[in-house]
């Protein structure tokens, strides 16, 4: 590892102030007298490859309404375009994470409808950001934050359902422009014997999965990744486990990562894998993003391109019981689907049931044999009021072809306030009493979406092979529900909606108390998050965090060690 002289001096300076900084129990945030001076930030700027960035809420160009400060038409046209949002340092996919609620119930915000408040406030959007293009930029930001005792947050695209990439009065490390991609058909991890090789891609911290898929296609390889176009390869996805519709065949992201590089709070830039810093490599694979350091790259193994078969179903009805019956039937198929490598996504509402599954593990004939009984069941319900929109299987030459031709890479939607709830459903629960389980679920959450991204290869992995919640290895499916609200909704009404999500969480948890959550899509108010999110790995994860983050710099909502901080993550409480 090579550091510039300024970066080395900054690191030495930060270490010299450790005792003074650790004496403070609260982080310094913007507006306080401790906030770094202009000259301090000028010194930071001198160490960076790019000028500092000053993030603004997404709607800020529309203020003041009488004479907008920027291109308000662009904001209006793209408000719901999550891809557009991902390119803005101050924009979150869900704008509720751009707002901040004060203790008196006042909401600091910047709404697209400017007449709601008349003013644009910074809210939960960090005030200054380092536009990281290389590891030394991140090292400088980390050293600066430790020296000045700042709160730090890390953001790539803002695809974050729990608000971990935003923070009121914080310094942001914005990794979105770290777009390096390299391919090595005989990659040897650092410290490994020369005989240990992988056909692998290495992605920088800002690479998104659609960019990764394009790169893999050019090399004639397949890689396991996320579906959403605003999901990054190297941030919360992999550090949360990294689920994929192809996980039942190839495993989760954590099962396919062979090496990572990371900047930790001491300013060191470490290369971690199965041969060096093995404990940190273990923790970073599923132990939670923004918790141990800032990933600068991840190297993933790849696979040969093979055909993929897909199954699609959609039906409407005003008879809710018909749809719920089909939902129960589809869940009853999950154990055998997982074993055959089928993974996918679905949604059930009062009037619609739809899903899309895929598998590279079966022939088209086998796919038809698998799905024909379900399609026939649905067809037999048409006389009772079921309207089938589509029920078909399709054959594709590769996952990339499916991604491109089947419309799996559309403009992703954002711009709506939302909080999710989540639960992992164990295979045993479905096999022992699927009808009773789904009936109980739908009594609590009649509108539910699901990700069938476990079982198969995911279940075969050793539960202790990565820091990931062991509940993933017993699960078949991850279910989601949630609450949404309009801009301008007052704090009391929002609290009521969030309380409903909490009550639903408690009811679902009671059905499967030994299971857990996929914390990247869970509620930020989950009870006993230490067990629910991390299972019996929590104590080990906390020990590793304490070792590699001695300054306690990396703290995120309901992340490992966050219980030692107040709700705003600005002051230690124990």
> Do residues 444 and 528 both lie within one domain?
yes
Say what the pLDDT of residue 24 is: 63
- The model's pTM is 0.94
CA dihedral for 451, 295, 565, 165, sign (positive or negative): negative
> Do residues 85 and 145 both lie within one domain?
yes
Examine residue 80 and state whether it is found in any structural domain, yes or no.
Answer: yes
> Do residues 294 and 317 both lie within one domain?
no
Examine residue 551 and state whether it is found in any structural domain, yes or no.
Answer: no
Q: For tokens 């070792």, what's the residue?
A: 547
Identify the burial level of 384 via C-beta atoms within 10 angstroms of its C-beta, where 0-12 means exposed, 13-18 middle and 19 or more buried. Answer: exposed
Last residue of one domain, picked from the residues 304, 338, 373:
304
Q: How many separate domains does the chain show? A: 3
pLDDT at residue 145 greater than cutoff 70: yes
Question: What is the mean predicted confidence (pLDDT) over 235-241?
Answer: 97
Instruction: Work out the pLDDT band at 109, boundaries 50, 70, 90.
Output: very high
> Do residues 38 and 80 both lie within one domain?
yes
* Half-sphere exposure for 270 (CA within 13 Å, toward CB): 22
pLDDT at residue 412 greater than cutoff 50: yes
Say what the pLDDT of residue 339 is: 95
**CATH for 312:** 3.40.462.20
> Do residues 128 and 169 both lie within one domain?
yes
Identify the burial level of 258 via C-beta atoms within 10 angstroms of its C-beta, where 0-12 means exposed, 13-18 middle and 19 or more buried. Answer: buried
Q: What is the tens place of the pLDDT at every residue in 328-384?
A: 999 999 999 999 999 999 999 999 999 999 999 899 999 999 999 999 999 999 999
Instruction: Work out the pLDDT band at 414, boundaries 50, 70, 90.
Output: confident
Last residue of one domain, picked from the residues 142, 176, 210:
176
Q: Contact at 8 Å (CB) between 562 and 276?
A: no
> Do residues 142 and 85 both lie within one domain?
yes
> Do residues 151 and 280 both lie within one domain?
no
CA distance 393 to 73: 42
Instruction: Work out the pLDDT band at 146, boundaries 50, 70, 90.
Output: very high
Instruction: Work out the pLDDT band at 408, boundaries 50, 70, 90.
Output: low
For residue 161, give its domain range: 5-176
- Name the β-bridge partners of 200: 184, 301
Question: What is the mean predicted confidence (pLDDT) over 261-273?
Answer: 98
> Do residues 300 and 322 both lie within one domain?
no
Say what the pLDDT of residue 3 is: 37
> Do residues 338 and 266 both lie within one domain?
no
Q: What is the tens place of the pLDDT at every residue in 296-342?
A: 999 999 999 999 999 999 999 999 999 999 999 999 999 999 999 99
C-alpha closest to that of 458 among 301, 299, 341: 341
CA distance 437 to 479: 13
> Do residues 326 and 418 both lie within one domain?
yes
| Cα 471 to the center of its chain, rounded Å | 18
Looking at the chain, the whole-number percentage of residues with pLDDT higher than 70 is: 95
Q: Contact at 8 Å (CB) between 358 and 342?
A: yes
Question: What is the mean predicted confidence (pLDDT) over 38-56?
Answer: 98
Say what the pLDDT of residue 404 is: 85
pLDDT at residue 557 greater than cutoff 90: yes
Q: What is the mean pLDDT of the chain?
A: 93
> Do residues 152 and 110 both lie within one domain?
yes
Examine residue 562 and state whether it is found in any structural domain, yes or no.
Answer: no
More confident: 407 or 453: 453
CA distance 159 to 449: 18
Instruction: Work out the pLDDT band at 18, boundaries 50, 70, 90.
Output: very low
Backbone angles phi, psi at 162, to 5 degrees: -125, 5
At residue 171, the 3 state secondary structure works out as strand
CA angle 170, 40, 134 (to 5 degrees): 65
């Amino acid at each position: 590892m090579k550091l510039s002289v300024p970066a080395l001096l900054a690191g030495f300076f930060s270490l010299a102030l450790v005792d003074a900084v650790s004496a403070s129990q609260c982080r310094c945030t913007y507006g306080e007298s401790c906030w770094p001076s202009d000259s301090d930030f000028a010194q930071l700027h001198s160490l960076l490859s790019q000028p500092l960035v000053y993030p603004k809420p997404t709607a800020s160009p529309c203020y003041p309404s009488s004479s907008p400060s920027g291109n308000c038409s662009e904001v209006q046209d793209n408000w719901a375009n999550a891809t557009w949002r991902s390119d803005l340092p101050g924009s979150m996919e869900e704008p509720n994470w751009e707002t901040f609620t004060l203790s008196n119930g006042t909401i600091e915000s910047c709404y697209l409808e400017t007449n709601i408040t008349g003013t644009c406030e910074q809210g939960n959007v960090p005030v200054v950001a380092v536009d990281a293009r290389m590891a030394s930029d991140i090292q400088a930001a980390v050293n600066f934050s430790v020296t000045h005792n700042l709160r730090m947050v890390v953001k790539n695209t803002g695809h974050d359902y729990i608000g971990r990439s935003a923070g009121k009065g914080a310094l942001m490390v914005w990794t979105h422009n770290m777009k390096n991609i390299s391919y090595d058909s005989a990659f040897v991890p650092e410290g490994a014997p020369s005989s240990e090789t992988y056909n692998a891609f290495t992605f920088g911290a800002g690479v998104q999965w659609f960019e990764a898929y394009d790169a893999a296609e050019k090399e004639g390889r397949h890689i396991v990744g996320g579906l959403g176009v605003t999901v990054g390869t190297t941030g919360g996805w992999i550090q949360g486990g990294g689920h994929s519709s192809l996980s039942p065949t190839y495993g989760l992201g954590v099962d396919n990562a062979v090496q990572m590089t990371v900047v930790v709070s001491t300013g060191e830039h470490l290369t971690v894998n199965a041969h060096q810093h093995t404990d940190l490599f273990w923790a970073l694979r599923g132990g939670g993003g923004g918790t141990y350091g800032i990933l600068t790259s991840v190297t993933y193994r790849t696979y040969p391109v093979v055909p993929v078969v897909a199954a699609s179903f959609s039906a409407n009805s005003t008879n809710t019981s018909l749809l719920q019956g089909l939902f129960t039937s589809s869940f009853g198929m999950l154990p055998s689907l997982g074993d055959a490598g089928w993974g996918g996504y679905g949604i059930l509402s009062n009037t619609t049931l739809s899903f899309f599954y895929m598998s590279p593990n079966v022939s088209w004939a086998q796919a038809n044999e698998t799905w024909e009984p379900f399609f026939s069941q649905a067809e037999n319900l048409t006389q009772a009021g079921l309207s089938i929109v589509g029920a078909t299987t399709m054959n594709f030459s590769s996952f990339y072809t499916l991604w491109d031709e089947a419309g799996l890479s559309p403009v992703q939607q954002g711009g709506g306030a939302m909080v999710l709830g989540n639960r992992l459903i164990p295979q045993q629960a479905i096999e022992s009493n699927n009808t009773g389980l789904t009936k109980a679920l739908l009594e609590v959450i009649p509108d539910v979406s699901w990700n069938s991204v476990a079982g198969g290869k995911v279940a075969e992995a050793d539960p202790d092979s990565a820091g990931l919640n062991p509940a993933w290895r017993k699960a078949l499916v991850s279910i989601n529900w949630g609450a949404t609200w309009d801009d301008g909704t007052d704090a009391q009404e929002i609290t009521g909606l969030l309380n409903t999500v909490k009550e639903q969480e408690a009811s679902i948890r009671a059905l499967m108390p030994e299971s857990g959550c996929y914390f990247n899509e869970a509620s930020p108010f989950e009870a006993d998050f230490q067990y629910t999110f991390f299972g019996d790995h929590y104590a080990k994860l906390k020990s590793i965090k304490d070792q590699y983050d001695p300054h306690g710099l990396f703290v995120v909502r309901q992340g490992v060690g966050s219980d030692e901080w107040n709700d705003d993550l600005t002051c230690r409480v124990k």
